[in-house]
Amino acid sequence: MQLEYSDKVKGMRPSIIRELLKQMSDPQLISFAGGNPAADSFPVEAIRRFSAELLEQDPVGALQYSVTEGYGPLREACRSFANRRWPVVKAGDEILITSGSQQIIEFMAKLLCNEGDTAAVEEPAFLGAYNSIRSFGVRLEGVPLQADGPDLEALERVFAAPQKPRFFYCIPNFQNPTGYTTSLAKRRAIYELAVRYGVPVLEDDPYGELRIAGEDLPPIKHFDTEGAVVYAGSFSKILCPGLRLAYCAAQRGLIDKMVVAKQGSDVHTNIWAQRVCHKLLTETDMDAHIRALRALYKEKAEFMMARLDETLGGRASYVRPEGGMFLWLTLPEKVDVPRFVSRCLERRLAIVPGSAFMTDAAPCRSVRLNFSTPTRAQIEEGTAILAGVLAELDG
């Protein structure tokens, strides 16, 4: 049967990252392409122990249907976790437990946008966010990034346009894919522009705990006194992505609407995972766990950067991130990026072209490299492949 697809689906693009990962069955393939956290960071023993306790002490509670809003004790634990450095979740805010933070992005588009509306997004940015928003027939308006965050003049022009965006999506901490960190001054300015023009901000913060240099900065949500910021916190990068757990902090009215949207989506988030996560947050030393994560990621990032410095000989530049999981490598102008990516893949190295993170797949001279997943040996071999291909194409 020939199926006729909706106009909404026609605007969606497959994730080049997922397509590349299909090739991971090749044991010789080195991947700098994914966004997976380091597997040796997972708290496997604690998850095993807490799962056994739950199934012994309260199997029905861990296996039965649950409430859409999320397990009550976990919601309170998320509030405490988010607020342990500075106020983020305010007294008037509610929390919803979701199946990953991408579900929060989808709900924002579903609840705030009609078909044909505009959403403002950082550019480049997370491809999954682009697809989630586009799936509702929403047009993306890209806001260029600078080393300290979004270009504020461009952001204000987008906010002041006749067709005002329904919301602005951003990743202030160690942005995916660039690794940029939005400065404290720009965080305040983004919030002020949001309030002035009536454009809510969706602040996606999956990497904020993975700082490897510099000082922690408060989220944009910290400055929110008007209910203008929706905060998306995730446990995928600090616990493990298989739990599929995130939390959304926002004004009560929006959370109420998200609950209704979630009831039509997946009814509720995996309750076993929620209860295990609650125990991890309340019965383990999460700060010690995060310190260990930061040390692990710092070592991996510094090793990859040292290898790039050694092998590339200054022929390409990259962003030295203060955290996160990615390096943003910019190639010389004469190098054809699609050809570079293809040549690397021929040599069993997978990387992602920067064009994958642009709203219109426009040409981009950068590529994204992931340092969290590969081993030291793979980083060493992979950077040698990068250098060899670059020498060929920039010779």
**Residues with Cβ within 8 Å of residue 303, at least 6 apart in sequence:** 371, 376, 379
Assess contact for 370 and 325: CB atoms under 8 A.
Answer: yes
35 neighbors 22 (Cβ within 8 angstroms) = no
The residues, ordered by sequence, that sit 6+ positions from 395 with a Cβ below 8 Å of its Cβ are: none
CATH superfamily of the domain spanning 7-41+288-393:
Aspartate Aminotransferase, domain 1 (3.90.1150.10)
Q: And the tokens for 248?
A: 């959304």
Q: Where are the domains of the chain?
A: 7-41+288-393, 44-285
User: Which 8-state DSSP code applies to residue 369?
Assistant: E
- Between CA 235 and CA 242 the distance in angstroms is 10
pLDDT of residue 236: 96
Using DSSP's 3-state secondary structure scheme, residue 163 falls into coil
CA dihedral 144, 369, 296, 221 (to 10 degrees): 20
Q: Is the pTM of this model over 0.75?
A: yes
Instruction: For residues 205 and 200, give the distance between their C-alpha atoms in angstroms, rounded to a whole number.
Output: 16
Locate tokens 């690794």: which residue?
A: 179
CA dist 228 and 256 (Å) reads: 16
Fold category of 44-285 in CATH: Aspartate Aminotransferase; domain 2 (3.40.640)
> H helices of the chain, where?
7-10, 16-21, 44-57, 59-63, 72-82, 101-112, 127-134, 152-159, 184-197, 252-263, 271-283, 286-312, 337-346, 376-393
DSSP secondary structure string for all residues of 57-88:
H-HHHHHS---TT--HHHHHHHHHHHTSSS--
CA distances from 321 to 177, 246, 302, 379, 386 (A): 11, 24, 10, 17, 19
Distance separating alpha carbons of residues 273 and 271, to the nearest angstrom: 5
The one-digit pLDDT tens for each residue of the chain (395 residues) are 766 767 666 555 555 555 555 555 577 899 999 899 999 999 999 999 999 999 999 999 999 999 999 999 999 999 999 999 999 999 999 999 999 999 999 999 999 999 999 999 999 999 999 999 999 999 999 999 999 999 999 999 999 999 999 999 999 999 999 999 999 999 999 999 999 999 999 999 999 999 999 999 999 999 999 999 999 999 999 999 999 999 999 999 999 999 999 999 999 999 999 999 999 999 999 999 999 999 999 999 999 999 999 999 889 999 999 999 999 999 999 999 999 999 999 999 999 999 999 998 778 999 999 999 999 999 999 999 999 999 998 76
For the sheet with 93-98, list strands across it.
93-98, 246-251, 229-234, 201-205, 168-170, 118-123, 139-146, 149-150
Number of residues in the chain: 395
d(CA 16, CA 246): 24
Element (DSSP H or E) covering residue 242: none
356 residue type, one letter: A
